[in-house]
Structure 1
Amino acid sequence: MLPPADAMAVVPATINKWAGGISDTSAFGLLNEAIGLGLPLVAMPWPNVAPAAHPAFTLSVERLTS
């Protein structure tokens, strides 16, 4: 068991799965729990040109920043 976190940083961030609430790995599970617990989060998305041009990317950024 991990000790409780006070905050989390996600660098580089793959945000489309995260914004969708998908917890198919331990990392995404922890991030989704952090949102539910209201922990402070800092994320730095670092996509290449093609994924950043996909409409889901902008929606994911908006969802996670709200």
Structure 2
Amino acid sequence: MTFWLAFDKYMNVFYRNIKAREITDQPIFYLAILAIILGVQLFLAGFLGEMMTTNAHKQNEYIIAEKIQNEN
């Protein structure tokens, strides 16, 4: 299928003299850039959240030297 699409594009541009559109003239280009930016941001937010939760349990570890009895 990829070969067929590439061949059809080649035939349209060189033999039928149909002008190819620039990539920046197509709205899908800007949607792809937006999707890449959002994907990177979501990945980094998840990665930072994962790092924070990994280190969060270490903050609640207490070292107890001795136990004090309550005499009430």
TM range (shorter): under 0.3
Q: Which has the higher strand share?
A: 1
Larger Rg: 2
Q: Which has the higher helix share?
A: 2
The answer to which structure, 1 or 2, has the higher relative contact order (CA under 8 A, 6+ apart) is 1
